[in-house]
Amino acid sequence: MSSSRAHLQLVPSTAEAARPHRWFCGRCGSPSPHGHVPPPFSRGCETCGLGILVEAPADLAPAPGDAFLLVDRTLAVQTLSDAAAQLLGVDAAAAVGRPVAELLCAADAEAPGAEPLGAAIMHAAGGEDEPLHVTVRPADVFGVRMRLRVGACGPPRAALLVVE
């Protein structure tokens, strides 16, 4: 019995096709040695051996040595780079699972047009593709300002916070 139906195919959205993505290590920032998509069951980083490979838009993805954090939709830190741990003065392993508010807070919470950090994280972790910019400071330090790019990454879906 032959079918005259056309076969269905998955077609990427125009936004996905227009914006290139890059796989990188969620711990050290190294790009995937396998190109764009890592082979199944081999998402561990071959450079540092500590992180898993995640995907983000190429213009958001960190470079090796950049300070960055991955935060889930519960606002808990899932991982952070050594550069971010050094910048924030925390032990990277001890920071995992802690609320991001224990590490970072809004620098100018009352400034007009200031995007709250939590809202930017929820925006990204919820799947919004357009990155936001937020000015923050370390939670226990005053007088220091850092600008973050906040955008979506995954799997699993999370927010990527990269210090600019």
- Of the pLDDT bands very low, low, confident and very high (cuts 50, 70, 90), residue 18 is low
| Digit-coded pLDDT (tens) for 23-80 | 998 889 988 876 666 666 677 888 887 888 899 999 999 999 999 999 999 999 999 9
Contacts of 58 (CB under 8 A, 6+ apart): 19, 20, 21, 22
Picking from 118, 117, 125, 119, the residue whose alpha carbon sits closest to that of residue 156 is 125
Q: Which of 94-103, 120-129, 143-152, 153-162 is predicted with the least confidence, judged by mean pLDDT?
A: 120-129
Mean pLDDT of the chain: 84
Cβ contact 125:152 at 8 Å:
yes
Domains of the chain by start residue, with CATH: 56-163 (3.30.450.20)
Backbone phi and psi for residue 158, each to the nearest 5 degrees, phi listed first: -155, 175
Predicted model pTM? 0.82
| Residues 88-100 pLDDT 10s | 999 999 999 999 9
* CA separation for the pair 125, 120 (Å, rounded): 9
Q: What average pLDDT does the segment 99-112 reach?
A: 80
Q: What is the Cα Rg of the chain in Å?
A: 18
Work out the burial of residue 25: count CB atoms within 10 Å of its CB; fewer than 13 is exposed, 13-18 middle, 19 or more buried: buried
Whether the Cβ atoms of residue 81 and residue 24 lie closer than 8 Å to each other: no
User: Which segments of 7-129 does DSSP mark as H helices, in order?
Assistant: 14-18, 82-88, 92-95, 117-125
CA distance 79 to 83: 12
